[in-house]
């Protein structure tokens, strides 16, 4: 029996679409249907059922599996999931594991919308660390391979990203061309905004709250001398919950809203004596020291992102020209992402310097990967708040980092405000 034969695909699609019409979705209004093919050739359908107590709801895949069990089916070969479109949806993490209970890694996951079939994966592609009944045999062990810095990724549902983009549109109108993630020391640029409006991250479904002192946790939209810009006042760090996908929902929502450019800012420690505390550095490249990626497990070929020019050359040239015109030193350098939250040891800093790093920090790299995957152009700026471990006699503390960031914040915010003012749509359109 071939689950991909035209006859079976059509039966699955029709059953899934019919089930979708019965979905109980009074809260999200996002109706989903699913149809499961068992190993006897029977098809069992289900729809999503929402509940005011969110965790008590049922996904369409779960109700379809329930229908299969009620009919006596024991083994699933394929599941076709139909959403409203245009976004392609896949089973959530919980449903992927439920499917693994009744199928193997070769179980087919077929995504569709009312217009037809959109994309196909295997369960193993969507759930690379799957765990099923066969792993409970004494001869088998749970799958290994998740390193300490790579917790299972938790991508936000596409529905949450779509809803967030719609909320941003309703609150602020059309998206500005440029959005900025504000790291420590860069928050003063908010004071340069006119007609500022804001919404906390907690009111945006795809945004995760921040848990670090100095990060406000809000989207602020306004104008700098007529140029509209969106400021993300704070970011989620990998060290907060061992997950490097914390900014995935925010960045994908910005793209869905219509943003074209993401400006990344951070506070960093310097590995070079020509960049003392208070300096600015233009990020030319980065080193992903933990080798953690927010794209691990992401389906499809788009996950193989070219990072050869992750920090846009034309945007960097524009920033250098602006700095030269205003007499602001802006050396370029390579930023190294260290997982944290502890500061680095002097031995680690010596190793990082040998690798070619010029500055070190605990953010930015996952967001750059996510932004490039989403198709956003990226510009990166570091505010140097300290010399790295072993390069000065000062002890490293978060309080000292914040204090130095505040002391140099006016310089950083002033340059950033002027840079944002210069990035109008005409200038961006003229860049290669």
For the CA atoms of 310, 430, 249, 341, what is the dihedral angle to 10 degrees?
40
Collapse the DSSP code of 61 into the 3-class scheme (helix H, G, I; strand E, B; otherwise coil) and give the result.
Answer: helix
Alpha carbon of residue 90 to chain centroid: 17
Q: Are 231 and 189 in contact (CB under 8 A)?
A: yes
Of residues 274, 267, 281, 278, the one with CA closest to residue 408: 278
Place of tokens 């300096």: 279
Burial class of residue 415 in the structure, from the number of CB atoms within 10 Å of its CB (0-12 exposed, 13-18 middle, 19+ buried): buried
Annotated catalytic residues are 184, 215, 237, 239-240, 267, 362-363, 386, 398
Of residues 224, 108, 221, 165, the one with CA closest to residue 374: 165
Residues 6+ apart with CB under 8 A from 393: none
- Please count the CA atoms within 13 angstroms of the CA of 72 that sit on its side-chain side: 3
Q: Are 50 and 38 in contact (CB under 8 A)?
A: no
């Amino acid at each position: 029996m071939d689950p991909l034969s035209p006859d079976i695909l059509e039966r699955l699609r029709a059953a899934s679409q019919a089930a979708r019409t019965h979905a109980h979705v009074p809260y999200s209004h996002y109706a989903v249907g699913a149809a499961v093919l068992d190993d006897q050739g029977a098809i069992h359908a289900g729809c999503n059922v929402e509940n005011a107590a969110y965790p008590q709801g049922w996904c369409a895949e779960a109700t379809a599996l329930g229908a299969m069990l009620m009919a006596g089916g024991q083994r699933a070969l394929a599941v076709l999931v139909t959403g409203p479109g245009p976004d392609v949806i896949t089973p959530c993490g919980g449903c992927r594991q439920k499917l693994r209970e009744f199928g193997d890694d070769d179980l087919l996951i077929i995504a569709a919308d009312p217009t037809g079939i959109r994309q196909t994966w295997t369960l193993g592609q969507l759930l690379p660390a799957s765990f099923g009944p066969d792993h409970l045999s004494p001869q088998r062990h749970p799958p290994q391979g998740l390193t300490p810095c790579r917790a299972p990724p938790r991508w936000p549902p596409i529905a949450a990203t779509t809803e967030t983009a719609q909320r941003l549109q309703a609150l602020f109108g059309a998206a500005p061309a440029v959005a900025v993630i504000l790291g420590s020391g860069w928050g003063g640029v908010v004071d340069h905004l006119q007609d500022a409006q804001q919404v906390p991250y907690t009111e945006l479904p795809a945004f995760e709250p921040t848990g670090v002192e100095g990060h406000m946790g809000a989207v602020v939209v306004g104008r700098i001398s007529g140029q509209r810009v969106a400021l993300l006042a704070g970011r989620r760090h990998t060290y907060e919950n061992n997950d490097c996908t914390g900014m995935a929902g925010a960045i994908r929502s910005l793209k869905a809203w219509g943003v074209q450019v993401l400006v990344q800012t951070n506070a960093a420690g310097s590995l070079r004596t020509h960049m003392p505390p208070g300096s600015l550095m233009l990020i030319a490249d980065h080193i992903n020291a933990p080798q953690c990626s927010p794209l691990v497990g992401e389906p499809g070929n788009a996950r193989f992102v070219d990072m050869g020019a992750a920090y846009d050359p034309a945007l960097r040239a524009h920033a250098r020209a602006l700095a030269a015109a205003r007499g602001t030193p802006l050396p370029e350098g390579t930023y190294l992402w260290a997982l944290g939250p502890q500061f680095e040891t002097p031995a680690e800093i010596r190793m990082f310097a040998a690798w070619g790093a010029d500055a070190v920090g605990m953010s930015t790299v996952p967001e750059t990967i996510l932004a490039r995957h989403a198709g956003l152009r990226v510009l990166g700026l570091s505010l140097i708040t300290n010399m790295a471990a072993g390069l000065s006699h000062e002890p490293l503390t978060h309080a000292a980092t914040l204090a130095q960031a505040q002391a140099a914040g006016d310089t950083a915010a002033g340059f950033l405000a002027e840079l944002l003012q210069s990035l109008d749509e005409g200038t961006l359109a003229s860049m290669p």
